[in-house]
Amino acid sequence: MDHTEILALYDRDLRAGARPDAPGTRVERAGGVVRQVGSPQDWNGVLWSDLDTAGTDATIAEQVSFFGELGHGFEWKLYGHDRPADLGRRLRAAGFTPGPEETLMVAETADLDLDAEPPAGVRLREVTDAEGVDLLVGVHEKAFGTDGSALRHRLLARLAADPDTVLAVVALAGDAPVSAARMELVPGTDFAGLWGGGTVEGWRGRGLYRALVTHRARLAADHGCRYLQVDASDQSRPILERLGFTPLTTTTPYVYEP
C-alpha cells in the first residue's frame, strides 16, 4: 500500500469531497474549509481545510461566528498532516478544546485476516429497526459512558432514508447486548468507515472487538468496498494492526461550545 497515495485519496474523497453523513445535513465549502451543517443532534463541523498561515486565524474566527449564529457547538477535525503546522495551537487559542488523539488506519479489504469469530455463546444481530438501534445505543452508553441520544437520532434517520449505506451489528450473549459497532458506506468512493466498536465491562478481552471488525470487513467485501478506514484509539490500534490495518496519520477532534 502506497501510504502517500492512499492518504491523498482519503483527503480527496472523504474530506474535500465529503458527502452529508445524515439526512437533513448539508456539506458546503466556505473559504478555505469544507464543513457539515445540520441540527444540534447531527455532527456539525469542519472536515477539511486548505489554509495558509496568514489567513488561518481569520478563517477560524469565521467558523466560530457561523456556528455561533446557529446556536450550537461544532468540531474541527484536525489531522496530523494538516497545515499550517500550528493549527492545533491556533484552535486552542480560539477557545477550542482538543479531545483524545486517535490514529487514522486504513486497510485493503482483500488483505485482511477475516477468520475471527465471536466467542462461544455469542451471536451477532444486524441492526435494521428501532429495536436494534436501542440495543446498539444501550451498549455504547454503557461502554463509553456517554449519552447516546444523538447517535440514536442519526442511526434512525440513516436507516429510514439510506438503509443501504449503514450496516450496524450488536453482539448478544443470550438476550443481553454486550458489544456493538457500525460501518458506514460512502457511495461513489472506494471507502467504508468502521465506527463505534464498543464492548461493555465484563466482556472485554474476549475477542468481541476483533470479531465485529471481521464481520464488518466481510460485509464491506460483499459490497465491493476496496478500503476500510478507522479512527483508532490506543486500545484498538494493536488489534487492528494484527488484522492488517496500517496507520496513516493522526486525527484529533477540536470542539467549540458557544
pLDDT at 1: 78
DSSP designation for 206: S
- Report CA Rg, the chain: 18
pLDDT at 210: 94
DSSP designation for 144: H
Between CA 160 and CA 36 the distance in angstroms is 20
Between CA 237 and CA 43 the distance in angstroms is 24
Chain centroid to CA 57: how far?
27
Q: Are 156 and 24 in contact (CB under 8 A)?
A: no
DSSP bridge pairs for 104: 231, 249
In sequence order, which residues have a C-beta less than 8 Å from that of residue 152 and are 6 or more positions away? 133, 134, 137
pLDDT at 12: 97
Q: Are 33 and 49 in contact (CB under 8 A)?
A: yes
Q: Which amino acid is at 92?
A: R
Between CA 39 and CA 27 the distance in angstroms is 13
CA dihedral of residues 162, 25, 79, 253 (deg, nearest 10): -110
pLDDT at 6: 96
Let me know the angle formed at the C-alpha of 225 by 221 and 226, rounded to the nearest 5 degrees. 100
Q: What is the pLDDT along the chain (258 residues), one digit of tens a residue?
A: 799 999 999 999 999 999 999 999 999 999 899 999 999 999 999 999 999 899 999 999 999 999 999 999 999 999 999 999 999 999 999 999 999 999 999 999 999 988 889 999 999 999 999 999 999 999 999 999 999 999 999 999 999 999 999 999 999 999 999 999 999 999 999 999 999 999 999 999 999 999 999 999 999 999 999 999 999 999 999 999 999 999 999 999 999 998
Q: Is the peptide bond before 84 cis (omega within 30 degrees of 0)?
A: yes
Between CA 12 and CA 189 the distance in angstroms is 10
SS3 state of residue 256 = strand
Query: Cell numbers at residue 116, please?
Result: 475471527
Q: Are 22 and 4 in contact (CB under 8 A)?
A: no
